Structure 1
Amino acid sequence: MGLLRKMFGGVLAAPLAVGIAGVPLPGGAQVANYPLGQSVNAGRGAVQSPVLTLDRDRMFADSDFGKRVAAEVAAAQARLLAENHKKETALADEEKKLTDERKTVSPEAFEKLANAFDAKVQKIRRDQDAKNRIIQAWRQKERQRFYEAALPILGQLVRDSGAVAILNSQAVFLSFKSIDVTDRAIARLDATLGDGAKGAGKIDLSASPPPAPSVSDGDAGSAPREVAVPGVGEAVAPNGVAPPGGGAAASGN
C-alpha cells in the first residue's frame, strides 16, 4: 500500500471510494453511500468538462414557461373539479328520487328507470374523463413546445461552455455539482422565451378529446433524431424533439 501511495500520490483513494461506496476502508475510514443520480460537490471550484448535466424536469417546472403551464392546468382542473361536484350532487338527488319511485312503480318499470340512470352516470363519467384528457393533452403539447424552443438555446449553452453534450442528470450515476447547468439553462430560457404565453392555445374543455392513451404511449417510444441547432450545428436530440420550423431529419436517413 505504501508503494501505491508513492506512485499515485494519494489519487488512488478517490476512484476506490466511488467504486466501493459504503464499504469500510483500512484505518477505519468510511465512504458515504450516495443515492443514484446524486451530485457530489467537487469543492475545488468549477470543473471543466466536455459533458454537462441538466435536470430536464426541473428545467421545465422552474422556468417561467413551465410555471405558466402549471398555473393554467391547475385552473382548468379546478373548473373540472367544481363541475364534477355539481354533477355528482345532481346525480345523488336523482338517485334518491329513483329510490323513492321504486315503491310506486312495477319492477319492470323500475328496471328500465334504473338502467337509464346507470347509462346516464356512465356517460357523464366518460365525458368528464375526456375533459381531463383534454387538459393533459394540452399540458403535453405545451411541454413539447417548450422543449422544441429550448433546444437551440441549450445548444448555444453547450457551445459557450466548451462542452459537447448535456446529459439528463436523472440518468447519471454520479456527477459533480459544478457541471450541472440547470439554473443557467432556466435563466437563459426565461430571458429568451418568457412564459411562452404568446402562441399558446387555450384549454378548451368543450373541444373533441384525444383518444384514451394506450399502454405503449409515452415519450420513450420516440426515436432520437438529428437536428440542426442554429449557430451550433448538427446535434442529436432525444425523443424526436426538434426546433421549430423543421430542420430535423431522422437519424440514418
Structure 2
Amino acid sequence: MRFPPRFIEGPGLCLGLVALVAGLGGILPGPVAAQQSAGDSRGEAVIRVPSPVLTLDWEALFETTRWGKRIRADLAAESRALSDENNRIADDLIAEEKALTERRATMDPTAFRTEANAFDERATGIRNAQKAKAQALSRRFEESRQAFFEAVTPMLDDILAKRGAVMVLDRRVIIRGLAEADVTDDLVRLVDGKLGDGPAAAEAAAPDTSAATPGTVAPETPAAPAAPGN
C-alpha cells in the first residue's frame, strides 16, 4: 500500500531521523509552559513539547476501528460459509465414490472405467471451483483493507493540524519513542466518528457461495481502486 509523500514509511527512515527532528525544532512555538503530568503521583512538573513527528500503528488502527472489525467479521462469516459448503460437497463426493465402487463388481470394466473417469473429471472441476472461491474471498478482503486505508489516510491531516506536527511515521520503523507521539487511538476515534462501520453491506460485493458446478470457476472480483500516488 502506498501513502502520500507526507506520510513516510519504510526502514530507511531511521537514517537521518534525528537530524530531521532537530532541524524541525526551529519551527516549533516559543517557550512552552510547564504542565502537571496527569500520571505523575509525585506532583513533579514536566515539560511537554509538541512533537513535529507522530507515529501510527496501521494494523492496530485496522483491527480496532468499527469499519476494520466489520471487514474482519465479514471475512470470518464468509469463510465459515465456504467451509461448510466444502464439507457438504466432500460428503457428497465420498458417497458417490463409495456407491460407484460398490457397483464395480456388477459392471462391465469398460463402463466402470468410463464412469470413474467422468467422476474424477467432475471432482477436479468442483475442487478448482471451490479453490477459486477461496481466492476470490482473499482478494475481497485485501481490497476492503485497501479501501479502508485509502479512506482514513486523509484524516491524518486533521491530527497533524491539531498536534502541530508535520509528518506521521509508521510505528514499525521506530526503534524507540514517547507514547505521547502515537496517534493511533486519536485516529480510531476520528474514523469511528466519521465513517462508522464503513460502506453499507449492500454496496459490498456479495460473496459467491452457491453450490459449485463441475468445470466452472468463481467470477473474478473487480480490482480495487489505485492507491493515492499510483
* Alpha-carbon contact 1:134-1:210 (below 8 Å) kept: yes
Question: Following superposition of structure 1 onto structure 2, how do residues 50-199 of structure 1 map, counting pairs within 5 Å?
Answer: 50-198=52-200
Pairing partner for 2:219 from 190, 205, 208: 208
Please say if 1:241 is aligned against 2:214. no
Query: Distance between the aligned counterparts of 1:204 and 1:141, measured in 2?
Result: 13
Residue type at the aligned position of 1:147: F
Aligned-pair distance for 1:58? 1.2
**Structure 2 CA distance for aligned equivalents of residues 164 and 115 of structure 1:** 67
Q: Deviations over 1:94-121 (max 9, x none)?
A: 1111211222223333222222211111
The alignment's TM-score, normalised by the length of structure 2, stands at: 0.68
Alignment partner of 1:175: what SS?
coil
Give, in whole Å, the separation in 2 of the partners of 1:64 and 1:132: 25
TM-score under structure 1 length normalisation: 0.62
Could you say what secondary structure the match of 1:167 adopts? strand
Cα distance change, pair 101–52 in 1 and its aligned pair in 2 (3 A): same
The whole-number CA distance in structure 1 between the counterparts of 2:221 and 2:187 is 32
The 8 Å contact of residues 130 and 210 in structure 1, kept in 2 or not, is answered as no
Structure 1: 5+ residue stretches without partners: 1-42, 212-239, 243-248
Structure with more helix by fraction: 2
Contact kept, 8 Å, 2:104 with 2:112, in 1: the verdict is yes
Higher relative contact order (CA 8 A, sep 6+): 2
Partner secondary structure for residue 203 of structure 2 = coil
Distance across 2 between alignment mates of 1:45 and 1:126: 63
Higher strand share: 1
Give the aligned residue type for 2:227. Answer: V
Q: 1:195 to 1:106 in 2, by over 3 A?
A: same
Identity in percent: 36
List alignment gaps of at least 5 residues for structure 2: 1-39, 41-45, 211-217
Specify the SS of the correspondent of 1:102: helix
Equivalent AA in structure 2 for residue 126 of structure 1: N
CA separation of 1:173 and 1:108: change in aligned 2, threshold 3 A: farther
Task: Give the CA deviation at 1:45.
Answer: 7.6
Q: Structure 1 pair 111/66, CA: closer, same or farther in 2 (3 Å)?
A: same
Report the aligned-residue RMSD.
Answer: 2.3
In structure 2, C-alpha distance between the alignment counterparts of 1:126 and 1:156, rounded to whole Å: 47
Which runs of structure 1 show a deviation greater than 6 angstroms over 4 or more consecutive aligned residues? none
